[in-house]
């Protein structure tokens, strides 16, 4: 199953663009860090650029998770149902592959910090937890929009929430009020607390982990009841 998911991922044209984005951003971040680290503006903006790179990548992960399901809905539905006896088996290879993909990509962006083991571990852990939330969101989206052609459009709402947080954190002097009940604010702030330890975080990794795991379980349960148990007929 994992091999099949890898092949499907490689053949996806959107994934090719995402890989190009990963290479361009990670190379640029490393060049700035190793070649221009003494410049004041690099020291100030490099953490923000790194956070931007990873958060946008996780936002794309949201679409990738939804597209995996919509592809099965439109193509090999019967085969998927015969080879996956339960919803865990159906999602395991898909989501493990996406998580590995995002963790490797995130590490490429923090190679300059590789000598700080604690920072790297925390950065990857926040990325893992945030990725679980985005994958769960993609699962729920796929049950609503159904078709790949609509996934990108529907995902723009999620992107709007994410960019709202990014703008507020990158330009704090703008004094922009947060969007009420924005589910992504706490996760994105966790990245900034890693770079700005002088500002005490107002949430713990334990809380973020519990939220992510609970949301993921709920998403899979809803998918099982509304979609999987009905033979993927929405």
What is the residue extent of each domain of the chain?
Answer: 2-230
Distance CA 68, CA 34 (A): 37
Q: Among residues 126, 138, 136, 115, which one has the least CA distance to residue 50?
A: 126
Per-residue pLDDT of the chain in tens (234 residues, 90 and over written 9): 566 666 666 566 667 778 888 888 889 888 888 877 777 777 778 888 888 888 888 888 877 777 777 666 666 555 555 566 778 878 888 888 889 989 999 999 888 888 888 889 999 999 999 999 988 888 887 776 665 555 566 666 666 777 777 776 666 544 556 666 677 777 888 887 887 665 555 557 888 899 999 999 998 888 888 777 766 654
H helix runs in 146-197, sequence order: 148-154, 156-170, 185-195
- The pLDDT score that the predictor gives to residue 188 is 80
Q: Among residues 86, 209, 202, 218, which one has the least CA distance to residue 140?
A: 218
- The pLDDT score that the predictor gives to residue 200 is 52
């Amino acid at each position: 199953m994992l091999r099949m998911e890898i092949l499907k991922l490689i053949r996806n044209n959107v994934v090719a663009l995402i890989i190009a984005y990963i290479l361009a951003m990670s190379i640029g971040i490393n060049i700035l860090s190793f070649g221009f680290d003494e410049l004041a503006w690099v020291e100030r903006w490099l953490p923000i650029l790194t956070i931007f790179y990873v958060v946008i990548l996780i936002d794309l992960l949201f679409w990738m998770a939804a597209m995996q399901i919509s592809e099965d809905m439109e193509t090999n539905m019967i085969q998927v149902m015969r080879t996956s006896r339960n919803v865990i088996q159906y999602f395991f290879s898909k989501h493990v592959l996406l998580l590995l993909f995002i963790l490797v990509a995130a590490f490429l962006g923090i190679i300059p910090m590789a000598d700080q083991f604690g920072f790297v571990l925390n950065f990857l852990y926040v990325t893992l937890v945030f990725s679980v939330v985005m994958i769960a969101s993609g699962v729920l989206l796929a049950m609503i929009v159904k078709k790949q052609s609509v996934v990108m459009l529907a995902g723009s709402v999620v992107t709007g929430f994410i960019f709202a947080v990014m703008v507020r954190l990158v330009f704090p002097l703008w004094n922009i009020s947060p969007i009420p009940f924005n589910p992504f604010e706490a996760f994105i702030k966790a990245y900034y607390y890693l770079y700005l330890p002088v500002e005490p975080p107002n949430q713990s990794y334990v809380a973020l982990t519990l939220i992510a795991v609970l949301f993921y379980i709920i998403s899979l349960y809803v998918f099982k009841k509304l979609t999987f148990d009905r033979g993927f007929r929405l």
